[in-house]
Structure 1
């Protein structure tokens, strides 16, 4: 599978957030697909994820000297205050447990320097890949409840303004139907015959000479501090951010 062959993620992100010379924290980097592009623009990228196997793949795929991959096993953003210029959630906020979303965003806000921003990339509506997730449970399945919770959490962050929602689409190129099934539908062979036939008929509609091309809606929001908002009067974070001394080793 080849995700985002036309680089729509980084094109959209950089159109609305200048990364040049910035120190960036990427939350939920997965196997590093977007990390690779962030590193081409940013001064430094710290990319975190709870999945050690995904991090191992990311380190192999993105050997850039200005990137550091770190585990985040408990979901805590474990850095000193004011460590970054940008915190970007790459398709990860909706995966944060519902009772931790607000805490995660508050912690992200505390990690930013003056003028820093939070960028939230989330699944959007529409697209054949989205339909496959919702109809057949492909990949992470139906993400609508998590997406809605993430939107509420963004708008509930005290002292921050949620910018306009930027809508775009990304493509997924699979070598063939079997590639999609192997990567996105584990246990496919044990499913009922009607289900298996329906999946193959669905995928056949999107077959092209290069393979099977599916697409999915995406959305980006940039959150900025409300300069007219007095956080010490209206909202106290009450967070203790633990220090990570080895964020960038010598």
Structure 2
């Protein structure tokens, strides 16, 4: 039975509505906490046993909630709640049993809680085959259509060395050294690009795997990435992200 539920939601009206819904559809459960950020969630989960279930918003003030999984182990079931449907595939790569779009309806929550309870009772995770089916169905972006003079031009994703954010503007650095301004944010690109080829290495950069020429050890467990055609660009990877970078490069 789902008894202890943790809510990770930065908007108080949404958190209050979720608490009311949970109280109505599952009155035997207890809300063990309401957290509002990635950092606060990492701290709480590091110091407390994992609850039976986490209701987790995707977009938080200090980043996407997927970053929590990079910093702490979460063995319990997770139900993602969000106003955006673009993160569904990524949600199923982690410990997710359902993905609910806001505003959450009572019937949807009841169904999600039933799935979480069945999972708890059987002590089974989503099968690898199921996850692969979700991932393999994803079609990743292969080109951009950009305004050019009195019309448009195409830029192939394969021609891009890296994406970066500068003064809240997203740009693509091409292999030929030119730059293009894009409408998408790095968060949106992270969902649209093939994760085998592109990786978000920090808040500012998404890089192509073939653009890397060296990875150097840096201070305090950090890494410094050197790009093949942009040696003057300094890209520092945090200690927390270092392991995933090495795994990505060695796959």
Common fold by TM > 0.5 = no
Q: Which has the higher strand share?
A: 2
Higher Rg: 2
TM-score, L = length of structure 2 = 0.29
